[in-house]
Amino acid sequence: MSPLLQQFLSEARDFLEGIGQKLMQLENAPTDVGLMTELFRFMHTLKGISGLFDFPEMTRVLHAGEDLLDAVRNDRIQYSQTLADRLLNAMDFVGMLCDEVEATGNIGATYASDSVRLTESLRDLMYSVVNENTASQHYLHLESKTTGMAAQLLPTPPIGLKHVPELVRMKAYQQTKAGQPVYWLRYTPIEECFFQGEDPFFQVRQTPELLWGNIIARESWPRLANMDAYRCQLNFRLLTGASKATLEDHFRFILEQIIIEPVAHLFFIIPTGDPCGGPVYEDFVGVALGFLATNNLTELTQAAKTMLELSCPDLWLSSALRWLLLVLENESDNHAALTAIVESLRSLNPPNWLDIQAQCLSSTSSSQPEPVHGLVENNLSNVQSAEHAEAIKSLLTTQRDILLLPITEPWQIGRMKAVSNVLSGCLRATGELEQLSNLALASEQSIAQGIATPLFDWLEQTFFLGTSIASNDLGQTSGDHDSSATSKAPSIPEGLVNTEPRPIPEVDNELKFGRRAEDSATDPKSLKVDQAKIDRLMSLIGEMVVSKNALPYLAVRAETVYGVRDLSREIKAQYDVINRIAEEMQDAIMQVRMMPVSFVFQRFPRLVRDISRKLDKDVNLVLEGEHTEADKNIIDSLGDPLIHIVRNSLDHGFELPDVRRASGKPTAGTLTIRAKQESDRVIIEIIDDGKGIDPEVVKRKAYEKGILDEASLEKISDEDAVNLIFVAGFSTVEVISDLSGRGVGMDVVRTAVEKVNGSIALESEKGKGTHIRLSLPLSMAVTNVIIIESNDQVLGVPMDSVVETVRIPRAQIRTIKHSFATVLRGCIVPLKSINALLSIDAQPQVNDDELAILVVRMGDESVGLIVDNFRETIEIILKPMTGVLANIPAYAGSALMGDGSVLLVLNVKELLQCP
């Protein structure tokens, strides 16, 4: 894997994390412009860098996301939860692609369709969010859903299908009838495609199972002298029998430039040829309809064949007869279709398949049509035609209003396409097919010129001046348009833009570079360094700190052994300088390793949101003190325990909204995660206002699981009982869910926290909530220890467990049974002799009839250790015991002292737990 790709992956993950975080923040402040801009910039940059690599699947999704955010940013659409959901989903997909790239080096073709689906889900949002209430959404759904057989078929026949030679269409018809869908594919290469090394012509020539294809110019050619050979001006239209998946794979790099639509078999039936009829056909039509009415298909076939033999094969009528025969052969039971073809012989207009499509679908999609079903369908279509005029009227008015809207931005040209699509649908529905070519001309002029005038003029002329449709029942209604249109339409217009499934907006290409320049200005001045390098630097500085500590010893030797007092003083002066620099170095390296806890916190908004939604709970997350800093190792070790705790809170702690309401709490629970610094420790508190932990339940469970015996069951305090949840193997939940209940959670949490010298405390009040408090050291690198003496041995005790050092007269030490104790500021403190604990056979040394007591914290109590003497506290680099010594729990580790000796550091907790 190239270093560039590696860097991309690491940056991409950062960006994804950032995007997720910003989306979460936006959920609480949907109107925050600053957040939105930042989010957009993340998406934009990520898309930009993804374009450096050959990952069309990834770039496509990101591009759609970017467009969507741009729309939100410019207030064209509203931020919504659906939007956040889809974006998060898309970002998860991108994350998955990153994993895939990391594992295999590229992205498998299988992701292409997912990528397109996600892209469409994002793009849909850009057009549907605004008008969630309009009926046009139904239409959109019909088009975008490609599940059911009926929905797969195109509601309108593709324009241009009639250019396909009859033989090819007949073949396609038979293939579709046989249950193998045939697709109409429109490919509109972007103008700059030649510069991206594409050859659209080659691409389409390689299309699998190509039935037919043609190439047309987008607009009339300019004068040859003005032509730019390197701007693609061609559109492609293909008819192919390959499966949709195969096609998507074939065009996977340019999926957004193609439109694949399945074609209903009836749409292929378009008679073509010389339209010169004679009266003899009138007779034939009458006879044929008679045969149809009596279901005498054999006679009909015979008559049609005879008729065909008599006619010139180039005639329009011959073509229609050939289709009639083909339909007779393939679906002789489809009377609606047969009648339509026969009727068309009289009218010389191609059958309007849209009108009879519903009927045909119902009777052809299932091999055995049910009569009752057919009846219902018939009735339905009658009802539809009664409402037809009304619907078309409102559609036309709306289209006109849309065209009246000003066009200020390039993407709005998409409206024209949409309007043109709607209008062509209307024409088909009313059977005004000869107007289609005029419409196509007008819309192409409009799109090319970027103004709505040609299309608007056409619309006015055709419909509102009452030339063609005025003769139909639409005419009377179009009269009162002018007065009612403006007042009626306002809510509908933009919704109808939906009818264009993917009006791919021409993204302002020339702006991109400008934006990129903007981005570079905000580049953070930071450096990504491998953690191993920092660790090495830190251990070197540690060595340095230790070896500098040798200088005072040297000074003492210079004076006492060699008797050079001046030299001794100079060494000491020098030592002070080195000491100061070393301390600063240490401080600096600590700063480098320090990370804000927000690094861990940032994943919680998403986690809480996902889990609470899954559990149908309503939980507000409050994060406090995210800027509190701690060593990276500590932060890293914090992640998993916190997730466990939060999950536990959500799963066991919070009640369902109904229960909460019943107990008089606000329906939405509050989960607070707070970080703060207390001297040299980081305190993390997780507070929920859920139902708390019931000590009785915990006790019973602990007893059932054999964690408690009967005697201790009686005397254990509620507080201690609650803390039993930290014991290994404890779980109060009967059913193991995917969230919790396996009985490892809290035990793992405690172990993980103690591993980094942290401690965990839990308080819970039944019905009020639970409060968990983690206390962790700021840094693990340097440990403060106090040096104690015991029987002439020097030992270290970590300062974080030391409460105080006191000297107590021997008289104040009481003996309770065989144990010692003393009273310190009104509290009884048990005393233990360090010699006894370490099995050293010596009595504690007494100075002036006083004993030196080191008071240490042991959980919630204090214990006094009787030692011989105290010395100074020093900072050491604690190295854990290795090898054979690693199994001695009484020692936390060892450290090298300035004079070269080794200091053993006690693990007080373990030491005191030894019996």
Binding positions for another protein, rule: CB under 8 A: 163, 189, 194, 199-202, 205, 213-217, 219-222, 224-225, 227, 229-230, 232-234, 441, 444
| Nearest-approach distance from CB 315 to another protein, in angstroms | 22
Angstrom distances, CA of residue 1 to CA of 55, 57, 321, 856? 15, 19, 64, 54
CB 568 within 8 A of CB 808: no
| Nearest-approach distance from CB 345 to another protein, in angstroms | 28
Q: Which is nearer to another protein, 222 or 859 (CB)?
A: 222
| Nearest-approach distance from CB 223 to another protein, in angstroms | 9
Instruction: Give the C-alpha separation, 156 to 142, whole Å.
Output: 12
Q: Which is nearer to another protein, 234 or 289 (CB)?
A: 234
Q: Which is nearer to another protein, 29 or 215 (CB)?
A: 215
| Nearest-approach distance from CB 512 to another protein, in angstroms | 24
Q: Which is nearer to another protein, 232 or 555 (CB)?
A: 232
| Nearest-approach distance from CB 216 to another protein, in angstroms | 7
Q: Which is nearer to another protein, 230 or 562 (CB)?
A: 230
Burial 421-453 (b: 16+ CB within 10 A, else e): bbbbbbbbbbbbeebeeebeebbbbbbeeeebe
| Nearest-approach distance from CB 444 to another protein, in angstroms | 7
The token duo for 724 is 């039993």
The token duo for 587 is 């401080």
Angstrom distances, CA of residue 627 to CA of 10, 18, 643, 915? 23, 16, 19, 43
CB 216 within 8 A of CB 291: no
First to last CA, the chain: 56
Q: Which is nearer to another protein, 166 or 655 (CB)?
A: 166
Close Cβ partners of 894 (under 8 Å, ≥ 6 residues apart): 878, 879, 881, 902, 903, 904, 905
The token duo for 533 is 């390098």
CB 879 within 8 A of CB 850: no
Instruction: Give the C-alpha separation, 438 to 458, whole Å.
Output: 8
Q: Which is nearer to another protein, 203 or 801 (CB)?
A: 203
| Nearest-approach distance from CB 154 to another protein, in angstroms | 23
The token duo for 86 is 């889809």
Instruction: Give the C-alpha separation, 758 to 425, whole Å.
Output: 71
Q: Which is nearer to another protein, 202 or 513 (CB)?
A: 202
* Helices marked H in 105-165: 111-128, 136-144, 149-152
CB 317 within 8 A of CB 297: no
Q: Which is nearer to another protein, 188 or 790 (CB)?
A: 188
325: buried, middle or exposed (CB in 10 Å: 19+, 13-18, 0-12)? middle
The token duo for 586 is 């240490």
| Nearest-approach distance from CB 314 to another protein, in angstroms | 18
Q: Which is nearer to another protein, 222 or 450 (CB)?
A: 222
| Nearest-approach distance from CB 231 to another protein, in angstroms | 9
| Nearest-approach distance from CB 201 to another protein, in angstroms | 4
Q: How many residues does the chain have?
A: 915
| Nearest-approach distance from CB 418 to another protein, in angstroms | 21
Q: Which is nearer to another protein, 219 or 861 (CB)?
A: 219
CA 456, distance to chain mean position in Å, is 42
| Nearest-approach distance from CB 24 to another protein, in angstroms | 46
| Nearest-approach distance from CB 188 to another protein, in angstroms | 13
Phi/psi of residue 680, nearest 5 degrees: -100, 30
Instruction: Give the C-alpha separation, 879 to 240, whole Å.
Output: 71
The token duo for 578 is 């080195």
Q: Which is nearer to another protein, 197 or 706 (CB)?
A: 197
CB 502 within 8 A of CB 259: yes
847: buried, middle or exposed (CB in 10 Å: 19+, 13-18, 0-12)? exposed
Rg of the Cα atoms in the chain: 41
**Sign of the alpha-carbon dihedral angle for 866, 870, 874, 876:** negative
Q: Which is nearer to another protein, 227 or 540 (CB)?
A: 227
